[in-house]
Amino acid sequence: MKRGLLAALSIARKDLKTELRTKESLNASASFALVILVLFSFAFDLDRESIYAISGGLLWLVYSFAGALIVNRSFARELPNDCLDVLIASPTPAWSLFLGKAIAAFFLLLIVEAISLPVFGLFYNISWTGVFWPLLLTISLATWGITVVGAAFSAVTVNVRLRELMLPVLLYPVLIPLLIGGMGMTTQLLSGNMAAADRNQYLRQLIAFDAIYTALAVYLIEFVLVV
């Protein structure tokens, strides 16, 4: 178990290092998130109450689309020079290979979210600093859900010719329960009218999603990678 976790960290560190050098998906994902946020701010002339009402939905749609660009590269990054074959042939268990990919994608998406959140606050005149810690918890839980499911589907579609198209088609239907939880929690946090019962329900929903899909992906990934 410990060896597997150490291998996962090595894979994650390698992915982060190569991505921070090339900025292939980071640039595309951050630019996309910023452009969508800015365009939406000009597209609708909403009153203050309506802006708060759609804030969570808008933020998580942007984050999930940006996330698809990040996770698309997770396993595709291993295709040049047949590096995926070398990883599979190594003693690294498939689950730790997958976990390393998910951890790297998680941090990359967090970077995109950290860049776009201040822009969101600025263009929509929404203050989020007062709920920073609960918002960080919500973002972390939902981001892990996006990246763990995304990395799993990235493995499924890695050898598919139209993987850029296939991944979102597979990903978004599965993410619906997670996005409902993330959107609901974020909207309530930003608008400041949240009952403790609602908060707990959304939190449970996010935690349950993360736990179920992480366990499923970790268990099934060997059957996906070695056929």
Partner 1 sequence: MLAVAVDRVWKYFGDYPALRGASLSVEPGACLALLGRNGAGKTTLLRILAGLSKPGQGEALILGAPSRDEGVRKRIGYLGHGIGVYDDLSAVENLRLFGRLMEMENPARAADSALERVGLANVKDGLAREFSRGMRQRLAIARAFLHDPDVLFLDEPFTSLDDRAIAVLQRILSEAQARGATIVMSTHQIREAMELASQVALLERGRIVHAGERTAEMLADPTWLYRTFGEAQ
Where on the chain is the footprint of partner 1 (CB under 8 A)? 3, 6-7, 10-11, 14, 17-18, 21-22, 80-83, 85-93, 222, 226-227
Output 38 or 88, the one with its CB closest to partner 1. 88
**Cβ contacts of residue 124 below 8 Å, gap of 6+?**
41, 51, 55, 58
Least Å distance, CB 221 to partner 1, is: 13
Minimum CB separation from partner 1 for residue 94, in Å? 9
Query: Which residue, 85 or 198, is less far from partner 1 as judged by CB?
Result: 85
Cα–Cα nearest to 203, from 188, 181, 186, 183 = 181
Shortest CB 166 distance to partner 1, Å: 19
Q: Report in angstroms the alpha-carbon separations of 72 from 24, 75, 88.
A: 11, 7, 19
- Cα 205 from chain centroid (whole Å): 16
Intra-chain end-to-end CA distance of the chain, in Å: 24
Residue 47, classed as helix, strand or coil, is coil
Which is closer to partner 1, CB of 91 or CB of 173? 91
Q: Which is nearer to partner 1, 171 or 225 (CB)?
A: 225
For residue 50, give the amino acid letter: S
